[in-house]
C-alpha cells in the first residue's frame, strides 16, 4: 500500500513539473508575437521577487518583426481582455505598478473600480504594507468595464525596491528590427481563467489577437 501511494505521489509530481504555463502565438506578414502567462502568484513571486499583492496579471511577451523591417514596440500596443465579463485593460508601466507613481486600486459600485477610494494594501520587498499609490488624476488605459485607477503624485515615499525589478524585466519600448522580449503588467478585477483571456495587439504592424492554451 505504501509503495502504491508513493508511486502515485511521484507520478503527480512529475505531471505537475511537466505542465506548461498557458501560452500562445500569433503572426502576420509584418510581426510574430508570442506570449506566456505567469499562471499564479508563486510564479510572479519567483520572477519578480514580489507577487504584486495578487492584483496583477503578468505576461511574458516576445515581439519579433519580420522581413528585416524596423518596428516601434510600445507598451500601449497591448490590451488584455476577458471573455468572463468583458473587462479590458491596457498594459501598465512599471511605475504604475510599484514606486511613487503606483496605481490606486479601489472598488466602487457597478462591478467596476473607482479611483476616489483608497486601494487595497500590499507590501513591497522589505517594506511596510502600503496602499497602491495615492490620490491624483485618473488614467485612461482601461475600458469602461475594466479596472480603473489613479497615479500617485506624491514625492515623499521611498523608492519601492520592486520598481527596479519591474523596469529590468518589463517589455522594452524601442524601435527595432530584431526580437524584443519582456513582461507586461495588467489589472483585471476578480479571477479569470487563462482560456478566457485574449491578448490584443494594435500597433505599427496591424491588429492581432492571441489566445492562451496549455
| pLDDT at position 105 | 54
DSSP 114: -
Q: What is the pLDDT of residues 143-162, one digit of tens each?
A: 444 444 433 444 555 667 88
Q: CA 39 to CA 45: how far, in whole Å?
A: 11
pLDDT above 70 coverage of the chain, percent: 63
Average pLDDT, the chain: 76
Res 51: pLDDT: 93
Tally of CB atoms within 10 A around 190: 10
Predicted pLDDT of residue 14? 46
Residue 93: what pLDDT? 94
pLDDT (0 to 100) of residue 117: 29
Q: Tell me whether residue 2 is in a domain.
A: no
Residue-level pLDDT at 98: 85
Instruction: For residue 186, tell me if it sits in a domain.
Output: yes
Which of 85-99, 113-127, 194-208 is least confident?
113-127
Look at 7 and 170; give whichever has higher pLDDT.
170
In a domain, 115, yes or no: yes
In a domain, 15, yes or no: no
Whether residue 16 is contained in a domain is answered as no
Question: Total structural domains in the chain?
Answer: 1
Examine residue 166 and state whether it is found in any structural domain, yes or no.
yes
Q: Is residue 10 situated within a structural domain?
A: no
Q: Is the pLDDT of residue 172 over 70?
A: yes
Domain that holds residue 90: 24-211
Flag the least confident range among 27-31, 90-94, 99-103, 106-110: 106-110
Q: Name the grid cell of 119.
A: 486601494
84 is a domain residue: yes
Cell for 16? Answer: 505537475
Q: Give 19's pLDDT tier (boundaries 50, 70, 90).
A: confident
- Greater confidence (65 vs 12) lies with 65
Beta strand segments in 31-188, E: 31-37, 57-65, 71-73, 78-82, 88-90, 103-105, 121-123, 129-131, 149-151, 174-176, 180-186
Whether the predicted pLDDT of 127 surpasses 90: no
Residue 9's contacts (CB-CB under 8 Å, 6 or more residues apart) are none
Which ranges of 26-80 would DSSP assign to H, the alpha helix?
Answer: 41-48
Examine the pLDDT at 10 and tell me if it is beyond 60.
Answer: no
Amino acid at each position: 500500500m505504501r509503495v502504491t501511494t508513493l508511486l502515485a505521489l511521484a507520478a503527480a509530481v512529475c505531471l505537475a513539473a511537466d505542465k506548461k504555463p498557458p501560452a500562445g502565438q500569433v503572426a502576420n506578414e509584418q510581426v510574430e508575437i508570442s506570449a506566456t502567462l505567469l499562471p499564479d502568484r508563486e510564479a510572479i513571486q519567483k520572477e519578480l521577487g514580489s507577487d504584486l499583492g495578487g492584483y496583477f496579471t503578468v505576461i511574458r511577451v516576445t515581439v519579433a518583426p519580420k522581413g528585416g523591417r524596423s518596428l516601434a514596440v510600445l507598451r500601449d500596443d497591448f490590451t488584455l481582455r476577458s471573455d468572463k465579463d468583458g473587462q479590458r485593460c491596457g498594459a501598465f508601466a512599471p511605475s504604475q505598478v510599484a514606486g511613487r507613481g503606483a496605481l490606486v486600486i479601489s472598488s466602487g459600485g457597478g462591478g467596476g473600480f473607482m479611483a476616489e477610494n483608497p486601494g487595497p494594501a500590499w507590501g513591497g520587498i522589505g517594506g511596510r504594507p502600503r496602499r497602491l499609490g495615492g490620490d491624483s488624476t485618473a488614467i485612461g488605459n482601461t475600458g469602461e468595464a475594466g479596472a480603473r485607477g489613479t497615479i500617485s503624485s506624491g514625492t515623499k515615499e521611498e523608492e519601492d525596491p520592486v520598481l527596479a525589478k519591474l523596469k529590468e524585466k518589463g517589455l522594452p519600448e524601442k524601435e527595432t528590427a530584431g526580437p524584443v522580449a519582456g513582461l507586461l503588467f495588467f489589472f483585471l478585477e476578480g479571477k479569470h481563467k487563462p482560456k478566457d483571456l485574449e491578448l490584443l495587439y494594435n500597433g505599427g504592424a496591424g491588429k492581432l489577437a492571441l489566445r492562451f492554451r496549455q
